[in-house]
Amino acid sequence: MKKLIVAAALLALAAGSAQGGKKVYTEEEKAALKEKRLQKTGGIVLKEGEGRIVVVNAQGKFSAEDIERALAPFRDFLKVRIDVRDGKWSFGDGRPNDADVALFVVEDASLPMSLVAMEGRWGVVNVAALGGGKQFDCEFARVGIATFGAGVSQYKVSPMQPVFRPSDLDGIVKPAITMDAGMAMNRNLEKAGVTKSKMTTYLKACQEGWAPAPTNEYQKAIWEESRKLPEKPLQIKFDPKKGR
């Protein structure tokens, strides 16, 4: 009986601690904490990525909305600039001069479903043989992933599965970008000059040397502090005996 009473008391104590252990802040306290963080970090700033991927729509079978839907996983994962525009493509054309990497969407029954020139940084999605939206999404994902730098994936849910005919695309679970493929694409795109946007604190941006001009008193203080010369610069004494 004593054991049951002790156990119940301990449970009640634990429940009380769990409820009372979390501090509830007033609006004034929340504002003060926010002000303190702002003073310490300068707030959050965005560093825009460099370079861009250009998707050239050279077909009329699928709509601009279809292309945007197929691009959504790439935009979400890669966080790089991707522009879409109408245009033309002929076999042998390389990527546009203003594109670091290009993906063409064409409709040509004389060509295979995909053409990828990774070293040339361009690829072609050929929609001529494709059926509904899922086939388009999956093939777009496959060609985009390969063009941007990831040929295979260890995950079965990846769209990078063996495909020999349009109907094979129906067996793909979904056109998702898996972690291994996404990381490979980011590495390859960075080497191609396409880098992703980055959000960090103003303090960190100053430390890394790319911070924009300050826009408030806290950022100004951090900006000026980061550019101060050290009070005691490192001194290297010359030792004639050692020749240095």
Considering the domain boundaries, does residue 162 fall inside one?
A: yes
The encoded tokens of residue 51 equal 């370079």
- CA-based nearest residue to 58, from 115, 129, 126: 126
Considering the domain boundaries, does residue 104 fall inside one?
A: yes
The encoded tokens of residue 194 equal 């396409």
- In the chain, what percentage of residues exceed pLDDT 70? 85
Helix (H) or strand (E) holding 124: strand 122-126
Whether 224 has a pLDDT exceeding 90, the answer reads no
Which CATH number covers residue 77?
3.40.390.10
Q: How many residues does the chain have?
A: 244
CA distance 153 to 162: 11
Considering the domain boundaries, does residue 103 fall inside one?
A: yes
Considering the domain boundaries, does residue 117 fall inside one?
A: yes
CA distance 21 to 13: 11
Whether 113 has a pLDDT exceeding 80, the answer reads yes
Mean pLDDT of the chain: 85
Considering the domain boundaries, does residue 211 fall inside one?
A: no
CA distance 173 to 163: 13
Burial of 18-33, coded b for 16+ CB within 10 Å and e otherwise, reads eeeeeeeeeeeeeeee
CA distance 124 to 111: 10
> Domains in the chain: how many in total?
1
Considering the domain boundaries, does residue 164 fall inside one?
A: yes
Per-residue pLDDT tens digits for 154-183: 888 888 888 889 999 999 888 889 999 999
Considering the domain boundaries, does residue 116 fall inside one?
A: yes
Q: Residue 177 has what DSSP assignment?
A: P
Band of pLDDT at residue 14, cut at 50, 70 and 90: low
Instruction: Count Cα neighbours of 227 within 13 Å in the Cβ-side half-sphere.
Output: 11
| Whether the Cβ atoms of residue 103 and residue 72 lie closer than 8 Å to each other | no
Q: What residue numbers bound the domain in which 81 lies? A: 53-191
Considering the domain boundaries, does residue 144 fall inside one?
A: yes
Whether 38 has a pLDDT exceeding 80, the answer reads yes
Q: What are the C-alpha distances in Å from 78 to residues 11, 66, 81? A: 48, 19, 9
